[in-house]
Amino acid sequence: MTGGVENGFRVVCLGEAMVELTPHQGRWNIYYGGDTLNVALHLTRLGLEVSYVTALGGDPFAGFMRAAWGREGLDVSLVLGVPELTTGLYCIDTDEQGERSFHYWRGQSAARSMFNAPGIDRAVVAASTADLFFFSLISLAILPEEGREAVLGLAREVRERGGKVAFDGNYRPRLWESQEAASVWRNRAASVADFGLPSLDDEKRNGMPGDAAAILEHWRECGCREPVLKLGSAGVMLPDGSIKEPELQLHPLDTSGAGDAFDAGYLSARLHGFEPAVAAEHGQRLAGWTVMRRGAIPERDHSAPYASMVAELAGEGSSGGR
């Protein structure tokens, strides 16, 4: 792979990785997913040096996941183990329009205890020197309050050391004690973020009005330096308030990883100095490829856009300029 050694960027993502079950032709396929993991794997495929911070259980799935991520080129040295707990699991059901519903088994997920796991101090030190630290509202939702505070403290330390912080406002109501609590932590996380990556649907569910411009302004008022609002099939609202529509109107097969793919495409381009509009095109291109395949992080195929995007990031192609 083209690695971070070449482009100089080091990324650390933190969150929960889970076993993913998806139905296919009367059987269940076993894979893995999780919003921050999906972003980490996409960024790895885009040539960045990426480490993942999480905790896995003592079940057979943990070894399968570590090995698979390592084959992708993801650094798993910060993946911790809590043998007495299990790795979380979820299944995805998709309708004819490709819209998905999730069913979770994560009550004893090891990721919930990652800040008590052996090796967490080493992981935090390693993460604090990243060029980019990425986490999500789900990362906070699964943790007890002291863990949430630790994540925000880590984000502040990354910025103090000159790195950037990216935060996705992924909102899953079942993970929170209340919607009010979720909005408080959303606002606090936005305050330490350089790049904010909310979606219109999640923000409306998490107490915000349906006005996209008002949502973008709210994130700015919280302290986020560069919020970009994902609008689904309508495109994205850029930091300047303009709308970047997708180049192609697709009929998705599976939308489960669309937002995560956008995050990775956008962040990789911004790290390389591309302007937000061009970075959004990168995000939309990667998301467009992802939603036409099953699973949150599809296997690479002949039409995967990673190679062409890496070439553009290196200045060997063109996606509209920096």
Cβ–Cβ under 8 Å, residues 130 and 158: yes
As a whole number of angstroms, the distance between CA 201 and CA 188 comes to 20
Q: Is 35 a catalytic residue?
A: no
Spot the catalytic one: 131, 194, 260, 263: 260
As a whole number of angstroms, the distance between CA 138 and CA 143 comes to 9
DSSP codes of every residue in 217-276: HHHHHHT-SEE-EE-GGG-EE-TTS-EE--SS----S--TTHHHHHHHHHHHHHHTT--H
Helix 145-160 to helix 120-128 angle (10° resolution) is 30
Listed in sequence order, the residues at least 6 apart from 67 whose beta carbon sits closer than 8 Å to its beta carbon are none
Looking at the DSSP bridge assignments, the partners of residue 20 are: 31, 90
Listed in sequence order, the residues at least 6 apart from 188 whose beta carbon sits closer than 8 Å to its beta carbon are 152, 222
Active site residues: 260
